[in-house]
Chain A
Amino acid sequence: MSALPESARVLHAHLHLMDRQVVREVDGRLLCKVDDLELADRANPYVKSILAGPLALGPRIGGWLGRLMVGATELLRPEEDPGPYRIRMHLVSNIGSAITVGGDPEPLALERWVRDHIIGPIPGSSGERPGKHSGERFDEHPAGHPGERPGKARPTHAGPTRLADIPDELRMSHLLDRVVIDPSGEVAGQVADVRLVQDGPLLGEATQALRVAGYIIAPSHTGQLFGYERARGGARPALVSAIIRRLHRNSVYATHEQLDPSTPDGPLKLRTPRDRLLSLTEL
């Protein structure tokens, strides 16, 4: 059983990764949001890549609007079986208020299309950049950077960014919000966040993968956690904090081993009864 506390870096998928801005390291350009995360290895899952674009966001929005996003994208994309835009995790060089990625991932399909067909043809679109004194952060690309040749997409050492679609059970969003049931079959709550520990298999040369270590299970319909249950002191608006803590007073933590992995669909099943799990306040 994975021991607490872990010495490796601990992150929470929902709180620290999902919906953060992705920034290209070389020039500070904004690429996309972390619309979803792709997992690998069903038995001992770890985060393999960042997923973005309408094909990743659509299913998370859900409803007719989500289906419309996915449907329209599939219709317009030239590939036979298009998948979401993806960035491999080993390219991630920093996780902070934004996710910084190295290499030179190309912009998303829609950006390239709008650039080539709408904005590009308008006079002045490529003219002198406003502000000659621009900081180093946004300085010229190094020579030969693919970003300087609009429209010429080519695979980069990021690996192919578009593969066929990714099955639901390998998407982080599929784990979040899933219903969890007790061994007895009773509903124990739903997954509010996924705890990740950076001690998974090696990705690339030196980075270890973020392994799925456990799940924060909240009573159904208590809403988001916002990180307030994992207080590390410091000032915070007392009232907001108190409300969220009260809503989550019955939240528990289950390690990956305490859940039955053989349920790719439907509710996740606990191996250990809910009342024997660690309470969040003990974490």
Chain B
Amino acid sequence: MKRMLAVTLGILTAIGGFVDIGDLVANAVVGSRFGMSLAWVVIVGVIGICVFAEMSGRIAAVSQRPVFDLVRERLGPRTGLVNLVASFAVNLLTLAAEIGGAAVAFELVTGINYLLWVPLVALMAWLVMWRVKFESMERVFGLMGLALIVFAVALWKLGPSWGELAHQVVHPPSDEGVPTYLYYAIALLGAAMTPYEVFFFSSGGVEERWTRKDLATSRANVFVGFPLGGFLSLAIAACAATVFLPVKAVPESLAQVVLPVGLGLGTIGLIVVIIGVFAATFGATLETALSAGYSLSQYFGWQWGKFVRPLEAARFHATVLVSMILATALILTTIDPVMVTEYSLVFSAAALPLTYLPVLMIANDPDYMGDKVNGRMSNTLGTFYMILLIVVSIAAIPLMLATKAGQ
């Protein structure tokens, strides 16, 4: 049991990356339009985030230095600032969307408009970050998020033609254009490797006071959490491919995303999936709000973290509080939460390479790592993904404009 609880940080981090509000909808849209033909992107994304999360977890365990600390140290104040601005924008936009998403989960249960739930969700999230121990927080919301496994159960219950799903993997539908296909590929890869995952994961390692002795824990978190996130993401896409693709429907809201679960498992399934959606979006709220505080504090060298009293990390807690207020205000303008996450992709383009390059460099620096520097495998994969991320970051914005964000 203790061993199982030790990997909740990885689970919570991965849920925030793979099945937060933007991705819940994006995965279902992809499944309903492209079938399983983008499944390979999720696999590529899972491997990529595993490679870099493993490095950043190892760095955190060996040197106690979280990722944004490294960004500033290796890239210097100016390039580091470019990354800080881009990452902070991603965090803030995503945070706003997640607050909206969690509020929509309440709307699905109560029928009361989500805007009325927004302030309540924001207040709850802030109270959790203000008072609740980091470990309790990650355990509660990490484990609750596992309820999303119900998508996989529903898929099995729906009894799709497995041969048809397998056929889709290598046959993209002919009625979708290549640019749209590529746009969704990049959006999925960007979601799998969002920078706030490594900010949160490595800072979480420091919050839990990992040392060299915890390298195995760090690794277990990476190799359980992220593949699980990828699995959930594929299950959602497969559900949509089974229910919506044959009738040429495209889900647009959260209510439609959870529909296949209702079809497969009835009311019980719907209850479980809404709990899962709430946990995932609320967990992602915590992840992005804390990441906003982590990245800003670590750039400037401020005391950060929940391992000290709020009084002793005043600027960090002030950053989290201000981010929560700004994000709540943004979502209260009735802006569509899902659309907000689409625009954050623009900022990810700058943040992705500038986040992972310093991680790759420090993971090779014996000053930091001693004998725990990267092996050949990590370096080969790391270099491959660096090239891939640079290509992605160059292609993201033109593709977004060309396809009008995939429409």
Q: Mark B299-318, 1 if CB is under 8 A from A, else 0.
A: 01111101111111011011
**Which residues of A from 103 to 153 have beta carbons under 8 Å from B?**
107, 110-111, 114-115, 118-120, 122, 124-127, 129-131, 134-135, 137-138, 150
The residue on B at minimum CB distance from A129 is: B309
Question: Distance in Å from the Cβ of B310 to the closest Cβ of chain A?
Answer: 4
Neighbouring B residues of A131 by C-beta, 8 Å: 133-135, 307
Number of interface residues of B (CB under 8 A): 53
Would B63 and A114 count as touching, CB distance under 8 A? no
Q: How many residues of A sit at the interface, in one of the four size bands?
A: 35 or more
**Which residues of A from 1 to 35 have beta carbons under 8 Å from B?**
16, 18-22, 29-33, 35
Would B303 and A111 count as touching, CB distance under 8 A? yes
Would A237 and B77 count as touching, CB distance under 8 A? no
Question: Distance in Å from the Cβ of A234 to the closest Cβ of chain B?
Answer: 6
**A166 close to chain B: CB less than 8 A:** no
Question: Distance in Å from the Cβ of B339 to the closest Cβ of chain A?
Answer: 30
B376 touches which of A98, A150, A224, A235 (Cβ 8 Å)? A235
Would B379 and A97 count as touching, CB distance under 8 A? no
Would B304 and A30 count as touching, CB distance under 8 A? yes
A240 touches which of B303, B312, B360 (Cβ 8 Å)? B360
**A61 close to chain B: CB less than 8 A:** yes
Neighbouring B residues of A232 by C-beta, 8 Å: 366
**Which residues of B from 268 to 317 have beta carbons under 8 Å from A?**
300-304, 306-312, 314-315, 317
The residue on B at minimum CB distance from A34 is: B301
**Which residues of B from 19 to 71 have beta carbons under 8 Å from A?**
63-65, 69
Q: By CB atoms of chain A within 10 A, which of B65, B306, B364, B383 has the most? A: B364
**B248 close to chain A: CB less than 8 A:** no
Question: Distance in Å from the Cβ of A278 to the closest Cβ of chain B?
Answer: 23
Neighbouring B residues of A98 by C-beta, 8 Å: 63-65
Complex Cα spacing A52 to B386, Å? 32
Would B78 and A237 count as touching, CB distance under 8 A? no
Q: With A19-B72, A97-B64 known to touch, is A30 a contact of B301 (CB < 8 Å)? A: yes
Q: With A234-B364, A235-B376 known to touch, is A111 a contact of B382 (CB < 8 Å)? A: no
Would A235 and B373 count as touching, CB distance under 8 A? yes
Neighbouring B residues of A22 by C-beta, 8 Å: 301
Q: With A61-B81, A115-B314, A119-B317 known to touch, is A97 a contact of B133 (CB < 8 Å)? A: no
Would B311 and A120 count as touching, CB distance under 8 A? yes
**B176 close to chain A: CB less than 8 A:** no
Q: With A31-B301, A52-B301, A130-B307 known to touch, is A60 a contact of B366 (CB < 8 Å)? A: no
Q: With A19-B76, A238-B379 known to touch, is A111 a contact of B302 (CB < 8 Å)? A: yes
Question: Distance in Å from the Cβ of B29 to the closest Cβ of chain A?
Answer: 36
**A155 close to chain B: CB less than 8 A:** no
Complex Cα spacing A33 to B77, Å? 10
Would A237 and B382 count as touching, CB distance under 8 A? yes
The residue on A at minimum CB distance from B134 is: A130
Would A226 and B361 count as touching, CB distance under 8 A? yes
Question: Distance in Å from the Cβ of B188 to the closest Cβ of chain A?
Answer: 26
Summed over the interface, the residue pairs from A and B with CB atoms below 8 Å come to a total of 141
Would A235 and B375 count as touching, CB distance under 8 A? yes
Neighbouring A residues of B311 by C-beta, 8 Å: 115, 119-120, 125-126, 150
Would A224 and B76 count as touching, CB distance under 8 A? yes
Q: With A61-B77, A126-B309 known to touch, is A96 a contact of B318 (CB < 8 Å)? A: no
Question: Distance in Å from the Cβ of A148 to the closest Cβ of chain B?
Answer: 10
**B209 close to chain A: CB less than 8 A:** yes
Question: Distance in Å from the Cβ of B78 to the closest Cβ of chain A?
Answer: 6
Q: Mark A234-246, 1 if CB is under 8 A from B, else 0.
A: 1111111000000
Would A29 and B312 count as touching, CB distance under 8 A? yes
**Which residues of A from 48 to 71 have beta carbons under 8 Å from B?**
52, 57, 60-62, 65
Would B315 and A236 count as touching, CB distance under 8 A? no
**B73 close to chain A: CB less than 8 A:** yes
Neighbouring B residues of A235 by C-beta, 8 Å: 364, 373-376, 379
Neighbouring B residues of A234 by C-beta, 8 Å: 364, 366, 373
Complex Cα spacing A234 to B364, Å? 8
**B139 close to chain A: CB less than 8 A:** no
Would A114 and B383 count as touching, CB distance under 8 A? no
Question: Distance in Å from the Cβ of B79 to the closest Cβ of chain A?
Answer: 8
Q: By CB atoms of chain B within 10 A, which of A20, A33, A65, A124 has the most? A: A33
The residue on A at minimum CB distance from B305 is: A30
Complex Cα spacing A96 to B76, Å? 17
The residue on B at minimum CB distance from A57 is: B77
Q: By CB atoms of chain A within 10 A, which of B132, B304, B314, B379 has the most? A: B314
**B157 close to chain A: CB less than 8 A:** no
A-B pairs with beta carbons under 8 Å apart, 12 shown:
A16-B367, A32-B302, A97-B367, A115-B311, A118-B318, A125-B317, A224-B75, A227-B365, A232-B366, A235-B374, A235-B375, A237-B361
Question: Which 9 residue pairs of A and B lie closest in terms of their CB atoms, listed nearest first?
Answer: A33-B301, A115-B314, A97-B63, A130-B133, A119-B314, A114-B314, A30-B303, A236-B364, A237-B379
> Knowing that A98-B64, A131-B134, A237-B360 are A-B contacts, what are 13 other residue pairs whose CB atoms are under 8 Å apart, sorted by A's residue number?
A20-B73, A30-B302, A30-B303, A31-B303, A97-B368, A111-B315, A118-B314, A119-B317, A119-B318, A226-B74, A234-B373, A235-B373, A237-B382
User: A interface vs B, CB < 8 Å?
Assistant: 16, 18-22, 29-33, 35, 52, 57, 60-62, 65, 96-98, 107, 110-111, 114-115, 118-120, 122, 124-127, 129-131, 134-135, 137-138, 150, 224, 226-227, 232, 234-240
